[in-house]
Amino acid sequence: MDHIVTVQEAVTAFAEFMDPTDAELDAIELEMPAILADVDLLDAQIITMDRTPTELDVRRIRRARRRLLTALVGQAATVHRGGAA
């Protein structure tokens, strides 16, 4: 019978190499506004899944879509100016 300790050692043997690099962290930071805006849009859409959307729901979704598009445009502009790739 194999012990979990031997498996644990094999799994964590390369843990230092699995950390994100500085470039990967910069890319995540660059994408974070778009990620958060996308989460807001999904939240607004989920709210309306089990009911007929009210005017307030429609506005909430529209605002969330605009925030997402703005974040995506800002992200693309940053990349083209020489930001993280």
Structural domains counted in the chain? 1
pLDDT tens per residue across span 30-77: 999 999 999 999 999 999 999 999 999 999 999 999 999 999 998 888
Question: Residue 50 falls within a domain, yes or no?
Answer: yes
Q: Does 7 have pLDDT greater than 80?
A: no
Residue 3 forms part of a structural domain: no
Q: Do the domain assignments include residue 28?
A: yes
Instruction: Report the alpha-carbon distance of residue 47 to residue 67 in Å, rounded.
Output: 18
Alpha carbon separation from 80 to 3, 61, 74, 76 (Å, rounded): 52, 29, 10, 6
Domain hosting 24: range is: 20-80
Evaluate if pTM is beyond 0.85: no
| Assigned domain for 14 exists | no
Q: Answer whether 47's CB lies under 8 Å from 59's CB.
A: no
Is 68 among the domain residues? yes
